Amino acid sequence: MKYSLDFTTLLPYWPVFLNGAWLTLKMTAVAVVVGVGVGTLVAFAKRSKVQPLSRICAGYIEVVRNTPFLVQIFLLYFGLASIGIRMPTFAAAVLAMIINIAAYAAEIIRAGLESVPKGQIEAAECLGLSKWRIGWHVMLQPSIEKVYPALTSQFLLMMQASAMASQISAEELTAIANTVQSDTFRSLETYIVVAALYLALSLVIKLVTHVLGEYLFRRRRVVRQAALRNNRQVVLPPAAQVASHGGAA
């Protein structure tokens, strides 16, 4: 059986594909910004000396990380609707994404906070810094810098998991693909296009997070540039080494 790819039937649907990609990107951006903020608060709360608060945060993280994302979306969209709380599909999908990414981000950021040396915190306390300044300058900023690659990987996973929102009819990229392939009967071509769009979105997110990391973590960039300069100075070409030895003689 021979099958010839034909993408011409999909050309009229390009605006629809782009709208779906834009909605996917918008959902991911909102979920990442709000989710990381919530996750940061949860990470600090889990390390709190107030045991009830710490246990609630630990329970929240465990529940979210050990249940499927699709079930979480269904609980918010169908479960709440059964008790009279109805949400638009976009709001339910984004809220589920925020709840999910906040739990994962909290655990990642908590690991970064745990890596901050206690002596560094004690030194800041001896200098008379307030708890807020210690938390922001001494603990959070260095820890975010350390776990930033893990966070960016989580952003990509969240963008890909947004495909689950198609199950509640959110008009994101996967839902658009299902509609297009049912209209054109060109399933292979449709999902090839969707895979290419997801790949493009992943590259965009990687580029944005890389540029953002270079801007936020200037110390890391300075250290890397200094290391490169030191390597150039230490590793001399053979001709330069012979010249330097001859000059010394």
Tell me what pLDDT residue 199 has: 94
Instruction: Give the integer Cα–Cα distance in Å for 202 and 163.
Output: 13
Tell me what pLDDT residue 1 has: 61
Q: Which residues of the chain have pLDDT under 50?
A: 236, 239-245, 247-249
Tell me what pLDDT residue 248 has: 44
Q: Is the dihedral of CA 197, 201, 207, 210 positive or negative?
A: negative
Tell me what pLDDT residue 244 has: 46
Instruction: Give the integer Cα–Cα distance in Å for 20 and 15.
Output: 9
H helices present in the chain, as ranges = 14-46, 51-65, 69-74, 80-81, 89-114, 118-126, 131-133, 141-161, 173-184, 187-216, 218-234, 238-248
Tell me what pLDDT residue 222 has: 65
Tell me what pLDDT residue 223 has: 63
pLDDT digits (tens, 9 = 90+) for 167-187: 888 888 898 999 998 888 888
